[in-house]
């Protein structure tokens, strides 16, 4: 994954230390490159949104499989965390959200 990549009209940046603070500040999507244990993945997904107010989505892979999405709710100032237990794809159709939590 490159440090920054344009995804149609969204700016996606990896949280791998390769991007400058300026890229992190203006990114729409911030993604952690390493899988983390569930509690750490949840903490990081939420912390990224609190640290970077311009970020709309944070993505952190879980060591147990699946990932945590941090979602900024437009205009409300609140943040939702969604845990997806497995990835959707050709070999895994219908990945499902297992839990959702709104903070703030």
For each of the chain's 104 residues, which pLDDT tens digit applies? 455 555 558 899 999 989 999 999 999 999 999 999 999 999 999 999 999 988 999 999 999 999 999 998 877 778 888 888 775 555 544 444 445 455 54
Round to whole Å and give the CA distance between 18 and 2.
8
87 contact partners, CB below 8 Å, separation of at least 6: 65, 66, 67, 95
pLDDT at 77: 72
């Amino acid at each position: 994954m490159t440090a920054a990549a344009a995804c149609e009209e969204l700016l996606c940046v990896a949280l791998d230390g390769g991007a400058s603070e300026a890229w992190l500040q203006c990114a729409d999507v911030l993604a952690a490159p390493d899988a983390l244990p569930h509690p750490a993945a949840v903490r990081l997904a939420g912390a990224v949104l609190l640290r970077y107010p311009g970020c709309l989505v944070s993505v952190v892979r879980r060591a147990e499989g699946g990932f945590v999405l941090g979602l900024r709710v437009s205009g409300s100032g609140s943040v939702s965390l969604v845990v997806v237990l497995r990835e959707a794809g050709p070999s895994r159709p219908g990945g499902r959200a297992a839990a959702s939590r709104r903070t703030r």
